[in-house]
Amino acid sequence: MARAYNFAPGPAALPESVLKQAQADMLEWGTAGASIVEMSHRGPEFMEVAARAEADLRTLLGVPADYAVLFLPGGATTAQALLPLNFAAPGATVDYVVTGHWGKTALRQLTPAVTANIAASGEPDGFRNIPARDTWRLTPGAAYVHITANETIHGVEYRPAWGEPAPETGDVPLFADFSSSIASEPIDITRYGVIYAGAQKNLGPVGISVVIVRRELLERTGQPRADIFNYGSQLAHDSMLNTPPTWNWYMAGLVFRWMLDEGGTPEFDRRSDEKAALLYGAIDGSGGFYRNDVDPAVRSRMNIPFFLAEDAHNAVFLDGAREAGLIGLKGHRVLGGMRASIYNAMPVDGVRALVAYMQDFQKRHG
């Protein structure tokens, strides 16, 4: 059976070499007599896997020493709930810039213990742009400013054409949800207080998330919370306060190594430019047969929603795509239409195949 080009938004495609490695490791880890998922997380085998994953992620993203890296069970939504508990004292104000579905989800994870200020929102414009930085109403002395680096459903991303990809927030630390764009380009980590990402878009299988925190922020008291939700305790125990999701951690480690072997974030930046240019070029060059409504200054390179001029064509488009070996293209129910998610594991050839299919489909139905 041939593997298809998988444009799913998450859980998303993993590199084939990573899947093969995992398959080979599945029955026995070296000569340990058991697989890595059947062993203690405190044993030497897994401790080495965990340490190497962290070292490789630090190399990949250029994480400075004064930042801690946590590997925690749960998803990005879990992190969204834990950020205020760890970094905002009761009564504090937290600033949120909402540029799509996931920014709204982040807001919903707040409790009445903090005051939420929506500093800016793209919702009045249907999330087709990011409000200009000089229109944001930030709160002096806020606990943090939260942004979504890339909106996976609305296809909106902070890009250089918009302005500073890490917007200036003065003394207030910037927290960013990088779930769907982490490791797609080099970034300056020091511009952020916290970066977090669920793994299932660009880093590995679902079930684990990465949280990168400026260490001094861990000295904040935050809110009353159980020890298991305390990032400081997690760090003190190397993210092993309880049994961690070892298989996911191991798989993410394979993905980090693959990314480094492929050339690291500069290479994925180059490929992302190439893939996005191919796909947006096909959409914009279709004379209105296909359409993407996002302001070109903030169009995502990772998730590209697009619509056919006639909704009646949607089901036929998806069926034909599947037959052409292109899967995962159905748009999110919030927007409808199509969406192509083209994370690091999607080769340029996959996007070429999609573009060829789109052009052929237009010839037959245009």
Closest to 300 measured CA to CA, from 122, 136, 133, 134: 122
Report the nearest approach of ligand PLP to the CB of residue 11 (Å). 9
Long-range pairs for 56-60: beta carbons < 8 A, 24 or more residues apart:
56/253, 56/256, 56/257, 56/260, 57/210, 57/252, 57/256, 59/260, 59/264, 60/183, 60/256, 60/259, 60/260, 60/264, 60/265
Ligand-binding site membership of 243 (annotated)? yes
CB of 177 to ligand PLP, least distance (A): 5
Say if residue 265 carries a ligand binding annotation. no
Nearer Cβ to ligand PLP, position 184 or 362?
Answer: 184
Structure tokens at 86: 């760890």
Report the C-alpha gap between 235 and 6 in whole angstroms: 35
Tell me the three state secondary structure of residue 126: coil
191 DSSP 8-state letter: G
Closest CA relative to residue 83, chosen from 179, 240, 223: 223
Query: Which one of the listed residues 56, 95, 102, 330 is annotated catalytic?
Result: 102
Instruction: Report residue 224: phi and psi, to 5°.
Output: -55, 130
Q: Shortest gap between Cβ of 137 and ligand PLP (angstroms)?
A: 23
Q: Which of 162, 177, 249, 330 is an active site residue?
A: 177
31 assigned binding-site residue: no
- Between 56 and 177, whose beta carbon lies closer to ligand PLP? 177
3-state DSSP helix/strand/coil percent for the chain, to nearest 5?
40, 15, 45
Residue nearest to ligand PLP (CB): 75
311 counts as catalytic: no
Interface contacts to ligand PLP, rule CB under 6 A: 10, 75-77, 102, 148, 152, 177, 179-180, 198, 201
Q: Does residue 177 have an active-site annotation?
A: yes
Cβ of residue 209: shortest distance to ligand PLP, in angstroms?
Answer: 7
Pick 22 or 81: Cβ nearer ligand PLP = 81
Phi, psi of 153 (to 5 degrees): -90, -45
Nearer to ligand PLP, 194 or 358 (CB): 194
Task: Judge whether 221 is annotated as a binding position.
Answer: no
Tell me which residues are annotated as active site: 102, 177, 201
Binding-site residues from annotation for pyridoxal 5'-phosphate: 76-77, 102, 152, 177, 200, 242-243
Binding-site residues from annotation: 42, 76-77, 102, 152, 177, 200, 242-243
